[in-house]
Structure 1
Amino acid sequence: MTTRTEALIIGAGLSGIGQAVAFARSGIDFVVLEKAPDLGGTWRSNTYPGAACDVEAHLYSYSHTKNPYWRSTYAGQEEILGYLRGVARRHGLLPRIRFDTRVVSARWDEATAEWTVETADGDTYVSRFLVLGVGGLHVPRFPEVPGAATFRGSSWHTSCWNHDVDLAGKHVALVGVGASGVQVAPHLAERAASLTIFQRTAPWVLPKADTAIPAWRQRLFARLPAVHSWHRLGIYLRREKRGFGFHTRPDLLRVAEPIVRRRIAEQIADPSLRALVTPDYPLGCKRVLFSADYYATLNRPDVHVVAGGPAEIRPDTIVDAVGEEHRTDVLVYATGFDLTGSFDRIEIAGIGGRLLKEAWRGGTHGYQGLAVPDFPNLFLLLGPNGFAPYTSVVPNLEAQARYVVQAVRTTRSAGARALTVRRDATDRFLAETRARFARTVWAPGNCRNWYQNTSPAGTVLWPDSILRYRLRLRTLRKGDYEFLPARGSVLAGRPDRERQVPRRTSVPAE
């Protein structure tokens, strides 16, 4: 079966739903393909105990569909998933979403200037525009540890939680202390007979001031939307002010380091444990984590922190770097995600059959975090260089969704069938990004982190303020794109019928 539409969105998580709303409000015909049986993306997959967002709920929600009834400052997984389902219902998106539909390939047809998308069940979708909202937090990454296949107990990744296993009386090993590890550790310690935490690098963990939102404030926000909007704006501006220390003046963050170290000293009584869990790199260089009870959990007599990752896994034990064995019944991996795995699992071929994974062989990168040369009418939501880690991704996402709508309209108004970003414009953007990245706290001189990569930009981040990024996306610069003329049109002074395959032509900047 073949389905034709003007725009096709792959993924029904936070990004895909946001783009779908933007298309629906703009009158652009679209279909959403989602591999899972339900929407939600990250918030559908990650159901581990304690799963929650570390951005205030009122900012981690769309500005066009605000929720005045968030129950607490920081929302948990179930509440966020419920919110996304409500957004889809409110905007009439559900009839346009094809669930249980896994995309295996997407190929650009130069003759027709369309994308042909194939699914695992054999169906075909054809569209002029293709938007990837596949996200990066659902393809689990596992460390390669000798003997892993011999383990006789239960094991799983935090993103694939096994709720059928009762942890009571079990000896649990937790590998990794990133965001999910710090969130789940207190819950594991409460349920298990013992918890062994394998820590490769000590994280900076700041207090999470999560409080219940009183009913009177919820009613106020519901009755006075303007007050709700001002509250959301205040959160956004506070985070932008804080972000100045991350992307422009890293020296300002050093002021907070003694405060956090004192907090660690106050909560960790054992000097050796205190030294083990105190970071030895600048605050902010790696992702800053938030928890109200993580350090207190480490003080428990049935919790043991081990330096480094597992050296070997045996049938009933895990061996650490110094050769000590730790009895283990349940092994939980909190080892993060393969950020490019979502893209690699789909064979995406652009002009001349060039694969996206080949274009990214030197590191993931893109123009404005949205487009890649030689891949016409293709847009990546929250793609490389399109997000920053110090605040909510939603303001960025909304700016990107509006930009994609603008790209569709610009292509129409230009009398073109497609647009593709120019390589020279992309190179300028990447050079600017690399220069900006060098002054940030995330730069290689401070520590090693997953924000760094081998691309021309040197990073997967947008290394500046979100305000600056949003301003860049307010207007699509026609001079940064080339346009493919419509059939029978004369964009470049030659009719389309004179050639077998349309030749790319430039449209001058406005």
Structure 2
Amino acid sequence: MVAKSFEHDPQWVAIDESKMMCHPRKLRMICIGAGYSGLILEQRITHKYKLDYIDYKIYEKNADVGGTWYENRYPGVACDIPAHSYSFDFAPNPYWSKYYATGPEIYEYIKVVTKQYNLDRAVSFLSRVVSTTWDEKSSQWQLEIEVTQRDGSVKTIKDVCDILVDGSGVLNKWKWPDIKGLKAFKGELLHSARYNEDIDLTDKRCLVIGNGSSAIQIVPAIQPKVAKLYTTFRNRTWLTPAIAPPGGDLSRGNFEFTLEEMQEFADNPDKLRAYRAEIEHQMGAVIKDIMRAGSAASDMYRDICIKLAEKAMSKKPELLNKLLPTWAPGCRRLTPGFGYLEALQEDNVEIQFQGVKEIGSDWAKFDDGTVIDNLDVIICATGFDVSFSPQWTCTGRGGQTLNKLWADIPMAYMGVMAPHMPNYFVMNGPNSPVAHGSVLTTANFAIDWMFKVIDKLAKEEIKSVCPNEQAVHEYNVYIHELLKGSVWAGDCTAWYKYHGYVTALYPGSTYHYMKLLENPRWEDFDYRYTSINRYSYLGNGTTRLQNGS
């Protein structure tokens, strides 16, 4: 007797005898941005996982790779994470010159690694994405890109992809401060994120607006050159010792590696890996210890920072009461400001503990009416738009735009995906552990998690995958409750916060985040399939392994 089948059932499909189980379908992936994240993606696709079913493309608005390290060229620019941790995991660098690397050295490292691994093979430079729109019928993202031509003209092109990745970074949308008359200034008006390296500051009268991480690097770098330096100091901040130096010696500051040490790292890769691991372990321990507000460890770290400030401010100790915060270290980003406090005490430096109210052709007026004139240069170290809203119009399922969804409270799924945005991933998105150590470490976790999701999508006949609204909602309700007890929820002004919520940081440790992303929670997603029967991925009853693939 011939066996019956369900050929009249609505979910019946014919067997494709040519298709084995989990045979991956071809996918096109586009990443926006050729900074660290976009380049790591290329390495994973081409070298680590060898995903020949993915056609990868990067659109980069700048003329070269590097992201923030291509853009930020201000005096003193450096990373505030130890260099050996702030490196590609597949290309450790034994030749870092200092414990904290300068911006130019990091940029050169990125260039060398990019050439070594051919990471820019799929990059289209001078290509600014202006819109991304999800098309439900094709289950693809439709992109519009403005490409600058050699003659300076701009041509708009279109592209499509199955997978869209935002690798543009959160600290990318720089902004001018909202100060009356700013554009009336006739001297050199500069922003830290768009600095003109051709400007000679020798014997100039300069005003630095801001006292965040960038200003803390700029002030000591330019103080010896300028005739007069005015700097604003509205928001107090803790200056920290070198974070997590192996051996625990906090007194070494930003020490230089000897040629012998570099050569030893080059000759002994295991020692280099162990050195990096020790740095990351120590950074994780520091963050874990001070993360909870009011802990004994937090109080101990405060005492260390106070002693550091007292030692640095020996020439003008009376300033300490105006400089030291009342909130705990970590509420704002931990900043090892080498030379900053010392520079503030020099005779050619004047601190204004207030904001700038108005600017004229060569003058600036402060909140209390004080006026300084004969200014040659104003440097705005005033930060970025940290709303997480994309720089382009991003329209997802049902016409929902991410720009509106994230306008008030950016709510992401595990810092990697967004509601109503199928097949969309974001690197270091809302509530990622960006202050817990190297963002490259946490980006690696997110990227490897992302490829697990993409692998399922490619091999199980899935057209689209999107975190469901309830999962996103419950996740955010819980993590924001957990954040209430953290040091980041303290009474400080920090870019971590947006509209009163801590939107930039994860409430647990780096290791905690790694465990969260160890395996996807498949039950949290809404799936749509290429077939009317979700099990059509079973194919012809054989596997690729059986067929020698």
The one of 2, 24, 36 aligned to 1:14: 36
Distance (whole Å) between structure 2 residues aligned to residue 259 and residue 461 of structure 1: 24
Asked whether the 8 Å contact 1:31–1:96 carries over to 2, the reply is yes
Asked whether the 8 Å contact 2:29–2:161 carries over to 1, the reply is yes
Distance (whole Å) between structure 1 residues aligned to residue 385 and residue 263 of structure 2: 41
- Report the secondary structure of 2:450's partner residue: helix
Once the 2 structures are TM-superposed, how far is the Cα of residue 454 of structure 1 from its aligned partner? 4.3
TM-score (norm 1): 0.91
Q: Which residue of 1 aligns with 2:533?
A: 490
| 1:207 pairs with 2:229 | no
Deviations 1:83-131 (A, max 9, x none): 1122222222222111111111111110011111110122112111001
Q: Which moved more, 1:278-287 or 1:110-119?
A: 278-287
| 1:109 pairs with 2:135 | yes
Q: Which residue of 1 aligns with 2:308?
A: 263
Q: Which amino acid aligns with 1:264?
A: A
Once the 2 structures are TM-superposed, how far is the Cα of residue 24 of structure 1 from its aligned partner? 1.9
| 1:63 pairs with 2:89 | yes
Q: Which residue of 1 aligns with 2:322?
A: 276
Distance (whole Å) between structure 1 residues aligned to residue 446 and residue 379 of structure 2: 35
Asked whether the 8 Å contact 2:291–2:298 carries over to 1, the reply is no
Distance (whole Å) between structure 1 residues aligned to residue 407 and residue 108 of structure 2: 38
Distance (whole Å) between structure 2 residues aligned to residue 377 and residue 344 of structure 1: 16
| 1:124 pairs with 2:158 | yes
Asked whether the 8 Å contact 1:282–1:446 carries over to 2, the reply is no
Q: Which moved more, 1:152-161 or 1:215-224?
A: 215-224
Q: Which amino acid aligns with 1:218?
A: M
- Report the secondary structure of 2:156's partner residue: coil
Once the 2 structures are TM-superposed, how far is the Cα of residue 492 of structure 1 from its aligned partner? 8.7
Larger Rg: 2
The one of 46, 68, 80 aligned to 1:24: 46
| 1:44 pairs with 2:70 | yes
Q: Which residue of 2 aligns with 1:184?
A: 218
The one of 66, 87, 105 aligned to 2:113: 87
- Report the secondary structure of 2:498's partner residue: coil
Q: Which amino acid aligns with 1:303?
A: V
Q: Which residue of 1 aligns with 2:445?
A: 399
Once the 2 structures are TM-superposed, how far is the Cα of residue 250 of structure 1 from its aligned partner? 4.3
Structure with more relative contact order (C-alpha pairs < 8 Å, separation 6 or more): 2
TM-score (norm 2): 0.85
Distance (whole Å) between structure 1 residues aligned to residue 456 and residue 164 of structure 2: 15
Asked whether the 8 Å contact 1:422–1:480 carries over to 2, the reply is yes
Distance (whole Å) between structure 2 residues aligned to residue 479 and residue 236 of structure 1: 32
Distance (whole Å) between structure 1 residues aligned to residue 379 and residue 406 of structure 2: 31
Structure 1: runs of 5 or more not aligned: 494-510
Q: Which residue of 2 aligns with 1:336?
A: 383
Once the 2 structures are TM-superposed, how far is the Cα of residue 249 of structure 1 from its aligned partner? 5.4
Counting only pairs closer than 5 Å after superposition, residues 130-149 of structure 1 correspond to structure 2 as: 130-149=164-183
Deviations 1:17-36 (A, max 9, x none): 12222222321321111010
Q: Which moved more, 1:472-481 or 1:446-455?
A: 446-455
Once the 2 structures are TM-superposed, how far is the Cα of residue 141 of structure 1 from its aligned partner? 2.2
Number of aligned residue pairs? 486
The one of 346, 364, 385 aligned to 1:318: 364
Q: Which amino acid aligns with 1:491?
A: R
Asked whether the 8 Å contact 2:292–2:298 carries over to 1, the reply is no
Distance (whole Å) between structure 2 residues aligned to residue 451 and residue 198 of structure 1: 21
Once the 2 structures are TM-superposed, how far is the Cα of residue 447 of structure 1 from its aligned partner? 2.7
Counting only pairs closer than 5 Å after superposition, residues 332-411 of structure 1 correspond to structure 2 as: 332-340=379-387, 343-411=389-457
Asked whether the 8 Å contact 1:203–1:279 carries over to 2, the reply is yes
Once the 2 structures are TM-superposed, how far is the Cα of residue 438 of structure 1 from its aligned partner? 1.2
Q: Which moved more, 1:208-217 or 1:477-486?
A: 208-217
Distance (whole Å) between structure 2 residues aligned to residue 405 and residue 72 of structure 1: 34
Distance (whole Å) between structure 1 residues aligned to residue 183 and residue 115 of structure 2: 44
RMSD: 1.9
Q: Which residue of 1 aligns with 2:351?
A: 305
Q: Which residue of 1 aligns with 2:504?
A: 460
Q: Which amino acid aligns with 2:186?
A: R
Q: Which amino acid aligns with 2:255?
A: T
Asked whether the 8 Å contact 1:365–1:460 carries over to 2, the reply is no
Q: Which moved more, 1:257-266 or 1:147-156?
A: 257-266
Distance (whole Å) between structure 1 residues aligned to residue 459 and residue 405 of structure 2: 30
